[in-house]
Structure formats: structure tokens, C-alpha cells
Amino acid sequence: MHVWIKPAGVWIALLALLAATIGAAHAELGALSIALNLLIAGICIGLIGILFMNLARSSVLIRLAAASGLFWLLFLFVMTAGDYLSR
Amino acid sequence: MTDASALIREPWEDFARQKEGVSFGFWIFIASEVMFFGGLFFAFAVDRYLHTQAFRIGLQHTDLTYGTINTALLMSSSFFMTAVVRGAPAGLRRTTVFGLAVCAALGVGFLITKGIEYHDDISKGLIPGAGFPLRPDATQLFFGFYWIMTGVHAIHLFVGICLVLLIETLIVLRRLPLQSPTIEIIGLYWHFVDIIWMILFPILYLLGRWP
Amino acid sequence: MHPFALYSTVSGYATSVDNFFFALTLLSIIIAGLVFVLIAYFSVRYREGSPHSGGRRPGLELEITWTAATFFLFLFIFWWAASSELQALHAPTNTLDIHVVAKQWMWKIEQPNGIREINEIHAPIDTPVRLIMTSQDVIHSMFLPALRIKQDVLPDRYTYLWFTAKKAGVYHLLCTQFCGTEHSRMTGRIVLMTPQDYAHWTSTQQPAQSLASQGEGLFRSLGCSGCHGPNSSVHAPDLAGVYGHAVQLSDGRTVTADDAYIRDSILLPRKDIVAGYAPVMPSFEHIVSEDQIVRLIAYIKSLSSDRVLNAKGERK
Amino acid sequence: MTDITLDRLPHVEAASLSYLTEGHTLGSWLLTTDHKRIGVLYALTITFFFFIAGAAISVVRLELVHPHGLFITDEEYNRLFTLHGVIMVWFFLVPSIPTTFGNFLLPLMIGAKDVAFPRLNLMSWYIFVAAGLVTLYALIAGGVDTGWTFYTPLSTFYANGNVIAAAAGVFIAGFSSIATGINFIATTHMLRAPGMTWTRLPLFVWAIYATSVVMVLATPVLAMSLLLIVAERWLGMPIFDPANGGDPLLFQHMFWFYSHPAVYIMILPAMGVASEVLACFARRRVFGYVAMIISLMTIAVIGFMVWGHHMFVAGQSPYANLIFSFLSFIVAVPSAIKVFNWTATLYKGSITLKAPLLYVMSFIGLFTIGGLTGLFLASVPLDIHLHATYFVVAHFHFIMVGGTVSAFFAALHFWWPKITGRMYPDAWARIGAMTTFLGFMVTFLPQFVMGYDGMPRRYHVYPEQFQPYHVISTIGAVILAVAYTLPLFYLTWSLRYGKIAGDNPWHATGLEWKTSSPPPKENFEHTPVVTEEAYFYELEGVEDNGS
């Protein structure tokens, strides 16, 4: 039974966040609304990654592997932003 | 664990290390997948920056109801998958078999919902090309991304469902021991596909939804 | 044409590029020579069985020295290159503007006074000249080797090149972005002439309406004047004096009304909406051709210079 | 048999113990999971692709003798150079050293039985072959005339030819690259023998590791950019289409985000080979071992941030040009340091000029020239003039062919005795090495000159003033073709008639030399224990003899 209980908390949290993000999208908050949507998406990903995918209890090596994709993606985004924002 | 020692494969000498190695290797694969989808999100971000207004107009024509249902389905499937990945090494056969079945069912549910949504989109003519109903032209870029992003994600999910059904069969037939690292990495894959949707959902259904 | 143009004096810029090139070549030969000579020397001196083999070698100190030396050397080269780039970045304001429309596999040139040329650009020396370029299909690239300049020419966008030549002559004009089957035949000439010759050449060509006056005709026939004209009842921005000036947009940004901005305003009117106006203008995408846009821009530009002249006149 | 070393056995028996004799059927090769056999399979495959792409460019080179061409049409010309580029880049250079020598040597060098995921390894070969066949079909049946860069909107709306199939082929090849990369990273992390610490790893292993990181993280972005091209061309999904407000430069950003690091996929393993061979034939430790590792990793990381130097004239922001230019100069620093370290490795060594060392010297020489001309292209004003001219062509051939292919041949000659158990005729090999260098210089040096003079690349017909350079270049290409074919003969000859090599013909350090030649299937009889640092050659620790 214990394999169900802890994940269930995360599950409920995820569904609550889903409701929250839809609410945020409809509230006319302008840019803040977009920021909230993205922030909540980030939290959901964090919950799934860290708790469901067990990064919380993985070795340093595995955490590094998980982080490397995001880190390298930054190069793509930041360097190209340098082009588009200064054109 | 006698069950586990039978799972050792060349060139590994120790099962715990093999398990760690498999999971490390799979995380590198996920990093690679992050770059794959990252490229797509990157292209989306650039075009959204160039045509913010058109992308909002496009987004207001996606169907939030289907999107929300699908998000809830995937979130739930991830929950069941977590129970599988935790239960299997502990030898909880019933939990594993049940969890995998629910996962596959939720995945199929997602694809069916998506199919209905696609059908609606097509009947509204939301396929880029001549006669596209929305203006300005850059809304076509948005729908280009919509089709490609959801399509590539759906292919990933389809592969995930096949893998889940495969190990489900092998487990039921007792051909795959519950301690096998395969179950864990298929779980990782499933969660990853879920995570991709957690990004697709806001950028295709939410950002700038307000009228 | 120049048979051997490794050192160009066609423009001051070209000469400065060449000076930089030959300085860097010299430096490279020194570095490569050093490596080659050392490898050869070591191979002989420390050949198998040589009494000199073995013994302590320097370590970290040498490593740090050559790392630092390389770093600062490269930094210096970067500084040299970057400062040269920054100097050439902005064209002077009083350029002679020549429009270039590229298509598979041809260059269409339009002189400011309406003369059309194919695969040939006539331009005066001692005058800053600007090429305003766009493409009808794929990406092309305008390469003027004698002037040491090159710029890709993109569809649905303007890119620019500028130069002030100082030596008359006939030089290559080449496409350097692979553009399909006859890419290598998409070549032509740039004819640089003294200003007197250029004026003479212009006067001997088919008398054509200037681009601006052709644009004025289009401005009416396409219906632009219905809204943007001085007596219009529609609330649309007055275009006189817009060109080259800052425009306040409805979302708070400020942009300069250059060629690209005017082009966008015609084709994608909802992209940048001028503050205080409703977004009512229809898009002219697929309605006007690149050639027509060139004329419309020339016309709007001419409105601007008229205004400046009038203002000056009034002050007098 | 425990007490007898293998080279004292009659060779029939010695051979019977090796990976080569584990099975003689075709099935035993096609279903093998042995990293050594997979390495050999890759070697055969990429050799095939090398000669296909070489044949294509031979026609092109011959055609260029005359300013108006000799015997093919514009369309055929464009298809041939596209075939050359696509096949050489993705089916020879990118897989070259990693999939052959990386596969064969990585487990041996770290004292492992095999790579971490042997079945994945075999699968990646099959994917590679399938990808190669799809691409080759696309390029030969119907042809593709976009150049290897697939720039939009040419590739999506205007090119006629099998763009979709070619892009699909390259896309599939990406899976093979990624699988190989994952395998190598996991192997290096998880399967090192006891005592094989990170600071004892041979530099070749470090190089393969750095390469794998680049493969795993860069390839997917290429895959995505190709997928978007296919979606646009095939399904009409506008992404880059300027008519709908899309930006062709976006494709170029994505494409070069892979394709610039791809150059490091090609050159980093070559650097690893150079270090191994130099240390062995100088009988000294590689000078600045730690600096070499740091520079390898720096190149692998910063190499991801310089792609914009391919776009200086593309319409990119001039400020972005400056940033990319700056980072390009920065990434040149570790490359320069590596050249200095290799040179210094020879200092106070005991040097024998065997064929592998000659190939490595050729590598260093050509790489140095390629690297230095890279500085020209990193400078914005010079690149504006030189971009898309023969100067660029010469520059990247110096790096990718002069560098990588020389190193590939060095590796082939250095590890040939280990792979086959036989020695080749060294005199012939030395002639081969010197001919390669000569042929290369004659082919590509004139291209720098004509490039600066304004000769654009990808030109079928060209202004007559450039003809003398093209003629010299073609003569060089003939020499080069001979030089590249030569090893095919004497190496094949050696398989049957070559001297038995013995375990360690070069008296090299490194675990791969501590097992028999060819190695047994399981690599080592007992898992080796490492007690000393890499390259512990006899001259290390010998005090100065006062001369």
C-alpha cells in the first residue's frame, strides 16, 4: 500500500496545479498570467522529475546527466536571443 | 537475491552497478531527448517572439477542454507509473500488473481524446495552407507548431504505450522478473513524455488565453 | 576585369581588409613555421638513440605562459577585427540608394532615377552607395569581391550593403549563397564610374520615370491615398516626413521608419501599429510585388525629403 | 596456456584464441555484440561510404579543370557535391574514429569486457547502415541539390529532388550517433578497471568521452531541424516559410547549433589519436596531460557557443556577430594549446619516425594550418569577404580531411597490429603518409589563394581568372586519391602475408597492448588492475644525462 500513498499526494498536487494554471490563464493579468502559467508548468515538471522520476534519491552522476540537457539548452536559447533581441 | 543474479548481463559483474549504469545511460538518453524537444520549443519561442499577437490569436483557437482532459489523464498515468516503479522491485506483482494496465489505458485515453480534438481541428480547417481561416498569416506558424508538437509528442506516447504493453505481457507471462531494470527505465520514459506535455499544454492552450 | 586582385584598392575599406588579411597571414606563417621547424628539429635531435633524449622537461610554467600568450594574442586580433567591423557598421545618411531584387537566377537592379538593369550595377565612385536588397524566392548572397563586401539577400526582408568606392573599373558581382541549379550563372558586373561618367550614363539611358514618381502612381492606383492622403476621412497616419524618423507604436515601443518598417507596414499592417490609430489597414501581401514595394518606399521616402526641404525653405 | 605468452605460440593457435576466430559464419558477425567486431563492421561500412563520396568529388574536381565545365550539367554538378558533402559529413567523418577505434579500443583501454550496452551497440550499427542506404538511395536515385546544409527555403519549396528521403536518412543516422554516444559515456563512467582513475585515462578515452557528450547533446537539435524541414516540405507545415512570417535564419541557427559542434565530433577523437601515437613514438608522456584534458573539455563545451560564425553575412544582428566572433577566438585558444603540447611532447623524447607518427605529424601540420585560417574566418570583416568562397572550403578541408582523415590513418596504422595481429610493410605506409601530406597541400593550398581572390564555392562555371588554381588543385586531388587508395592494397596484403605482430609491437603503454593481438573475445583473461599513470614510458623519470 505504501507505494500508493506518497505518490498520491503528488498526484493531487498536480491536479490542483492544473486547476490553478487554467485559472491563471483566464484571469486578465497580462504578462503576469503568462508568467504564472510557465511557473506552474515548471513546478509540475519539478514534481514529476524530482519525486516521480526519483531524482531526489538518485546519485550525483544521474542528476548531472539530467541537468546537462537543460544546461546545454541554455546555450541555444541565450546565444540566439543575443541575435533576435539585438537585430 | 537469486532472481536478480539471473538478470546480470555482459559486461556487468554486479547487479546493483548494472542497474545504476542502465539508469544513468537512460538519463543521458533523456538529456538527448530534452535537446530534441528543446529545439522545437526554441523554434516556437523565436516565432512567438516575432509574432506574439498572431500566436495569441492562434492559441485562442485550440480547444482548452480537450487539452485539460489530456493533461489530467497524463498526470494520473504518471501517478500509476510511479507506483509500478516503486512496487515492482519490492516484488508487488499485483500492483505492477494493475498499475501498468491503468497506465496504458490512460495513455490510450489520451490518444483517443487527441484524435477527437484533431478531428475537430480538421473540420474547422485549422490546417496551414491555402484557405486557412485565421488572419494574420503568422497564425499558420502557430498551427504549424501545434500539429508538429502534438504529433511528435503523440508518437512518443504511442511508443510508450507499446513498451508498457510489452512489459505488461512479459510480466504476466513471467518472462520478465519484477527486479529487471527495464521496468524502471520504461517508467522514466513515461514520465518524460508526460513532462513534455506539461510544457506543450501551457504553450499551446494557455499563454495569452484571456480574450 | 582585374586579373589578380589579391590586393584591392577599389575602396578604402577593401584596402583596410587587405591590410588586416596580410598581417594575419604573416602572423600565421610565423606560428605555423615555428611549429613545423620545432617538429622537424626535435625529430632529428631527439631521434632514437640520440644522447640528448630523456631528462626533465619544463612543466606548468610553460603551459601557463603559452596559454596566456595565445589568449592575449587572440584577444588582440579580435579587438582589431571587431573595431574594424564596428566602423563599417552604419552607412552614412546621404547615400545613393540602389534597389536590388534577386531571383533564381538573376539580379534585378533599379537605379534611383528608375533605370532598370539586369545583372549589372552602375554606380559612381567617391559617393556613398547603398544597396537595398531583397529576394523573390530563396536566399541569395550579393558578393562584390573587389570591394570585399558580401551580404545574404533574404526573401521577405531587406538587407543592406554600402560602400564608397574610389577607383573606377568593372568588377565581379557574384551570388555566394547556393540558390539552386544555375547558382554559378547568377553572376554579373559592377561598373564603377566617376560621378561625371555616371551622370552621363544616367542621362543616356532610356528616360524613365523616377522610382518615386512611379511609386506615386501606385500609391493612388492601389488605393493607399484613400486613407493616407491629406484629404482622407479615414483616421490613418500621415506619411509625409515619416521616413527616417522615430515612430511611437501602440504597444509602447519606438521604431525607426526605415525601408524594412515601411515594407512590413504594407505587408503585415498589424505587426507594428502606430500609437493612436486603429488597426484597420488590410494587408497587401500577395497583392503588391517586391518591385512595387520598392517604388512605394521610394515615394514615401521622397515625401520625407520634400518636407525637409519645405521646412528649410519656410525657415528661410 | 597460462604461462606462455601468445606470440610464442604458432600463429594458428594464437589466432584461434582471438575475437576474429570466435565464429566464421556471416551470422557470427552480423549478430555479434562484441565491441571489437562491431568496430570492424563500422570500419568496413565507413570505408565504403568514404570511397563513394570520394568518387563523387573526383568527378567534380575533374569537371572544374575548365571554367565552363567538361562533361556534366549544372544539375548533376550540384547533386554530386551535395552527395559528397552529405555522405562525407554524416557517413564518414562524424562516425569515423569514434565508431571504429572508439568501439574497438574504449573497453580495451579502460580494462572492460565490452561497452556498457552491447546490444544497443549492435543496434546502432544497423541503424547506421539503414540510414546510409536511405540517404544513398535519395542521393543517387533522383538526387538532391541543396548542398549538405539543406538551407530553407531552397530545400523546402524550391529544390527538386529527394530532399525528404535524404533528410530522413540523416535523421535516422542521428539515432545511431546518439546511441553510440550514450554507450561510450556510460562505459567510461561505469566500467573502468580497478585503479583506472580519471587522471590515469589515456587521452584517447578522454577525447572519445568529450566527443560522446557533443554527440548526445547536439545531434537531437539537428534531428529536430531536419524534422521541421520535412514537415514543411512534405506536410506543408510552415515553420521557416518567410511568406507566413517564418524566419529562414531560425533554421540556420538550429542547423549550425549541431553542425558546428559536429566539427568537434570529427576533430576531438583525432586529437586523442595524435596524443596516443606521439607519446608512444617519442617514448615520453604526453606533455601537459592535465592541460590536454582541460582543453578537450573546454573545446567540447565552448564549441557549442560559436555556431553563429557561420552566419556573419546571413542577416544576423551585427552585435550577435561580435559575440560569436569573440567566442570563436576563445575556443581557438585550447586548440592552439594542444598543438603546442604535442610539439613539446617530442622534446627530449626518443623518436622513431614510423608510419603512424608520420601520419600524426601530417595531422598536426594540417590541423595547425586549418586552425590558423580559422582565425581569419572568426574575424567578422575578413569572414564577410571570405564566407562561401574557396577559402572556407580549404579551411574546413584542412581541419576535417587534413586533420581527421590523417588521424584516422594514423590510428589505422597504429592499432592495425592489435586489430588484425599482423604488421603491414612500414616503408609503403611511410610513402603513403608522405604522399597524403603532399597531395593534400597541392590540392588545398591554391584554394586559399583563389578564395581570397573571390572564387565562390559551389560554382560549376567560374570566371576564367581562377582556372590555374583549379588545375593545380585537381592535380593535387589525383595525388591525394592515389595516397588514399594505397593503404587499401598494402593493408589487405598484410592480412595474409604480414608479419605476426605480437602483443605489443610498438612497446606502447596502455591496457590495449597488455592483451594478445588480436585480443580474445572477453578482452582480458583477468580484469586488469591499473597501478600507474598513462604513458609511463621508459624515458619518464630518467634523469638528465647532462648533455
Both C222 and C200 in a single domain?
Answer: no
Task: Test C270 with B136 for CB contact under 8 angstroms.
Answer: yes
Q: Nearest CB to D237: which of B11, B39, B128?
A: B128
pLDDT in tens, C47-105: 998 888 888 888 899 999 999 999 999 999 999 999 988 888 888 888 999 999 999 88
Instruction: Examine the pLDDT at B191 and tell me if it is beyond 90.
Output: yes
Q: C159-163 and C246-248: which strand pairing?
A: unpaired
- The pLDDT score that the predictor gives to residue C204 is 85
Count chain A–chain B contacts defined by CB atoms under 8 A: 127
What is the sign of the dihedral through the CA atoms of C270, C275, C280 and C283? negative
- The pLDDT score that the predictor gives to residue C284 is 80
Instruction: Examine the pLDDT at C314 and tell me if it is beyond 50.
Output: no
CATH number where C175 lies: 2.60.40.420
- The pLDDT score that the predictor gives to residue D387 is 96
Among C204, C236, C269, which residue terminates a domain? Answer: C204
pLDDT tier at D16 (50, 70, 90 boundaries)?
A: low
Helix (H, G, I), strand (E, B) or coil at C98: strand
- The pLDDT score that the predictor gives to residue C273 is 78
Q: Which of D82, D232, D293, D348 has the highest number of chain C CBs within 10 A, making it the mutation to test binding with C?
A: D348
Task: Test D385 with C54 for CB contact under 8 angstroms.
Answer: no
pLDDT in tens, D181-221: 999 999 999 999 999 999 999 999 999 999 999 999 999 99
Q: Which of D251, D317, D343, D449 has the highest number of chain C CBs within 10 A, making it the mutation to test binding with C?
A: D343
Both C160 and C257 in a single domain?
Answer: no
- The pLDDT score that the predictor gives to residue D3 is 40
Both C146 and C165 in a single domain?
Answer: yes
What is the rounded average pLDDT of the residues D459-463?
Answer: 95
Instruction: Examine the pLDDT at C267 and tell me if it is beyond 90.
Output: no
pLDDT tier at C313 (50, 70, 90 boundaries)?
A: very low
Instruction: Examine the pLDDT at D359 and tell me if it is beyond 90.
Output: yes
Instruction: Examine the pLDDT at D543 and tell me if it is beyond 60.
Output: no
On whether residue C199 sits in a domain, the answer given is: yes
Residues in chain C: 316
- The pLDDT score that the predictor gives to residue C208 is 64
- Residues 6 or more apart whose CB falls under 8 angstroms from that of C269 comprise C279, C281, C282, C283, C284
The total number of structural domains in chain B stands at 1
pLDDT tier at B118 (50, 70, 90 boundaries)?
A: very high
Task: Identify all chain C residues contacting B135, using CB atoms and an 8 Å cutoff.
Answer: 283
% of chain D beyond a pLDDT of 90: 88
- The pLDDT score that the predictor gives to residue D4 is 39
Q: Nearest CB to B207: which of A3, A27, A34?
A: A34
Task: Test C271 with B137 for CB contact under 8 angstroms.
Answer: no
Helix (H, G, I), strand (E, B) or coil at C149: strand
The total number of structural domains in chain C stands at 2
d(CA D203, CA D341): 13
C-alpha cell at D91: 557517413
Q: Which of B34, B75, B94 has the highest number of chain A CBs within 10 A, making it the mutation to test binding with A?
A: B75
Range of the domain at C144: 96-204
On whether residue B3 sits in a domain, the answer given is: no
What is the rounded average pLDDT of the residues B80-103?
Answer: 94
- Chain C residue whose CA is closest to B49: C271
Task: Test C183 with D458 for CB contact under 8 angstroms.
Answer: yes
- β-sheet bridge partners, residue C129: C96, C163
What is the rounded average pLDDT of the residues B69-77?
Answer: 96
- The pLDDT score that the predictor gives to residue D439 is 96
Task: Test B50 with A84 for CB contact under 8 angstroms.
Answer: yes
Instruction: Examine the pLDDT at C309 and tell me if it is beyond 80.
Output: no
Q: What is the largest CA-CA distance in chain A?
A: 58
Residues D54 and D485 sit within 8 Å (Cβ to Cβ)? no
Using the structure block, give the residue that is written with the C-alpha cell 547536439.
D218
Tell me the average pLDDT of chain A: 92
User: How many CB atoms neighbour CB B41 within 10 A?
Assistant: 21
Q: Nearest CB to B92: which of A3, A26, A27?
A: A3
**Contact: chain A with chain C (3+ CB pairs below 8 Å):** no
pLDDT tier at D12 (50, 70, 90 boundaries)?
A: very low
- The pLDDT score that the predictor gives to residue D106 is 97
Q: Return the ∠ at Cα D186 (arms to D182 and D188), rounded to 5°.
A: 120
What residues does each domain of chain D span? 6-514
On whether residue B211 sits in a domain, the answer given is: no
pLDDT tier at D541 (50, 70, 90 boundaries)?
A: low
- β-sheet bridge partners, residue C153: C140
- Chain B residue whose CA is closest to C282: B136
CATH number where B64 lies: 1.20.120.80
Query: What ipTM was estimated for this complex?
Result: 0.90
Task: Test C81 with D373 for CB contact under 8 angstroms.
Answer: no
**Half-sphere exposure of residue B180: CA atoms within 13 angstroms, side-chain side:** 17
Amino acid at site B34: V
Task: Test A79 with D305 for CB contact under 8 angstroms.
Answer: yes
What is the sign of the dihedral through the CA atoms of C237, C240, C241 and C244? positive
pLDDT in tens, C273-306: 777 777 778 778 778 888 888 888 888 887 765 5
On whether residue B84 sits in a domain, the answer given is: yes
Task: Test B148 with D238 for CB contact under 8 angstroms.
Answer: no
pLDDT tier at C4 (50, 70, 90 boundaries)?
A: low
Task: Identify all chain D residues contacting C84, using CB atoms and an 8 Å cutoff.
Answer: 380-381
Task: Identify all chain B residues contacting C283, using CB atoms and an 8 Å cutoff.
Answer: 135-137
pLDDT tier at D53 (50, 70, 90 boundaries)?
A: very high
d(CA C240, CA C252): 22
On whether residue C49 sits in a domain, the answer given is: no
CB interface of D with C, residues 213-252, below 8 Å: 242-243, 245, 248-249
d(CA D49, CA D31): 22
pLDDT tier at C312 (50, 70, 90 boundaries)?
A: very low
pLDDT in tens, C203-253: 888 756 778 888 888 887 787 877 887 667 777 777 877 787 787 787 777
Considering only CA atoms, which of D189, D93, D99 is closest in space to residue D399? D93
- Chain C residue whose CA is closest to D463: C172
d(CA C149, CA C100): 15
pLDDT in tens, D399-445: 999 999 999 999 999 999 999 999 999 999 999 999 999 999 999 99
Decide which of D14 and D523 is more confident: D523
What residues does each domain of chain A span? 1-53, 60-87
What is the rounded average pLDDT of the residues A9-14?
Answer: 95
Instruction: Examine the pLDDT at B153 and tell me if it is beyond 60.
Output: yes
Among C204, C237, C269, which residue terminates a domain? Answer: C204
Among C204, C236, C270, which residue terminates a domain? Answer: C204
Both C181 and C236 in a single domain?
Answer: no
User: Which has the minimum average pLDDT: B86-90, C258-262, C306-310, D288-292?
Assistant: C306-310
Burial (0-12, 13-18, 19+ Cβ within 10 Å), C141: buried
- The pLDDT score that the predictor gives to residue D180 is 97
Range of the domain at B41: 13-206
d(CA D124, CA D109): 21
Instruction: Examine the pLDDT at B130 and tell me if it is beyond 80.
Output: yes
pLDDT in tens, C120-165: 999 999 999 999 999 999 999 999 999 999 999 999 999 999 999 9
% of chain C beyond a pLDDT of 90: 50
- The pLDDT score that the predictor gives to residue B4 is 63
Instruction: Examine the pLDDT at D8 and tell me if it is beyond 50.
Output: no
Q: Nearest CB to B144: which of D190, D239, D253?
A: D239
pLDDT in tens, D264-278: 999 999 999 999 999
Q: Return the DSSP state at B198.
A: H
Instruction: Examine the pLDDT at B140 and tell me if it is beyond 70.
Output: yes
- The pLDDT score that the predictor gives to residue D427 is 95
Instruction: Examine the pLDDT at C199 and tell me if it is beyond 90.
Output: yes
Q: What is the largest CA-CA distance in chain D?
A: 76
The set of long-range contacts for B97-105, using a CB threshold of 8 Å and a minimum separation of 24, is B97/B168, B97/B171, B97/B172, B100/B164, B100/B167, B100/B168, B100/B171, B101/B168, B102/B77, B103/B77, B103/B164, B103/B190, B104/B161, B104/B164, B104/B165, B104/B168
Q: Nearest CB to B38: which of A45, A53, A73?
A: A73
Q: Return the ∠ at Cα C106 (arms to C103 and C112), rounded to 5°.
A: 90
Peptide bond into D220 cis (omega under 30): no
Instruction: Examine the pLDDT at C1 and tell me if it is beyond 80.
Output: no
- Residues 6 or more apart whose CB falls under 8 angstroms from that of D262 comprise D89, D94, D214, D218, D222
Both C216 and C298 in a single domain?
Answer: yes
Instruction: Examine the pLDDT at B198 and tell me if it is beyond 80.
Output: yes
Q: Nearest CB to C285: which of B51, B53, B137?
A: B137
Instruction: Examine the pLDDT at B28 and tell me if it is beyond 60.
Output: yes
Task: Identify all chain D residues contacting C70, using CB atoms and an 8 Å cutoff.
Answer: 332-333, 336-337, 340
Q: Nearest CB to C283: which of B51, B53, B136?
A: B136
CATH tag, D6-514:
1.20.210.10
Give pTM, 2 decimals.
Answer: 0.90
Q: Which of B18, B28, B139 has the highest number of chain D CBs within 10 A, making it the mutation to test binding with D?
A: B28
pLDDT in tens, D134-151: 999 999 888 899 999 999
pLDDT in tens, A44-68: 999 999 999 999 999 999 999 999 9
- Mutual angle of helices B181-201 and A31-47, in 10-degree steps: 170
